[in-house]
Amino acid sequence: MRPANPLQREAKRTALLDAAAQCFAEAGFVATRTADICSTAGMSSGNLFHYFSSKHELLLALIAREGEETAAAMTALVAAEDPMAALSGFLEHVCQLASDRHYAGLALEISALGHRDEAVAHLVKANDLVLREGLAALVDAAGRSGQLHTNLSPEQAATWLAALIDGLFARVAADPQFNPQDQSQVLQQLVAHLLQGR
């Protein structure tokens, strides 16, 4: 049944996106059946097609949602009074996310899918740009607050912040003993060096 109430519809759509995120992270996109997603969301099989035309459309909606969440997080960060403290808090949050097997598994699954699926690659690149533009705005704000000591442009600094975040997630995939939360201090020091030369 498709609820007539828009709020109920939105709640069901969100439940399906959450369930898909869990299934894709655990079993991978290809091995996940739409029935698995419905069952994880506590809905009857086939209900999914009232909301998404295919498993692939659900995947794309999931990646788009991730982009919206990144954009909202970045807007909040850029508005912070102390930009460097905001960046430091964001990096702490990223270390937590990378330590979350479920989140990291989904990120790696999407990145692997993007390698051979143009629609996924397009959205992943758009999300990456949202992240980098947000980080560049944050670095720019830190500069205007007199918090920087670097020759890098905000865009170049944002690129290296993104590279460090990518590297963190890649280490999770490569090395089972790597715990991002244990490494957050080293990350913060590298970022302080990158932006403040110390």
- Summarize as ranges the residues that interact with a second copy (CB under 8 A): 28, 30, 108-109, 111-116, 124-125, 128, 132, 152, 156, 159-160, 162-168, 170-171, 173-175, 178, 183, 186, 189-190, 193-194
Backbone angles phi, psi at 177, to 5 degrees: -90, -5
DSSP H helices, 28-117, are 34-40, 55-78, 83-99, 101-114
The residues, any chain, with a CB within 8 Å of residue 180's CB and separated by 6 or more, are 94, 95, 96, 98, 99, 168, 171, 172
Shortest Å, Cβ 144 to a second copy: 22
How far is it, in rounded angstroms, from Cα 88 to Cα 23? Answer: 31
Between 49 and 160, name the residue whose CB sits nearer to a second copy: 160
Shortest Å, Cβ 41 to a second copy: 24
Between 15 and 121, name the residue whose CB sits nearer to a second copy: 121
Shortest Å, Cβ 135 to a second copy: 13
In the chain, how many H helices and how many E strands?
8, 0
Shortest Å, Cβ 152 to a second copy: 7
Indicate if the alpha-carbon torsion angle 186, 191, 194, 198 is positive or negative.
negative
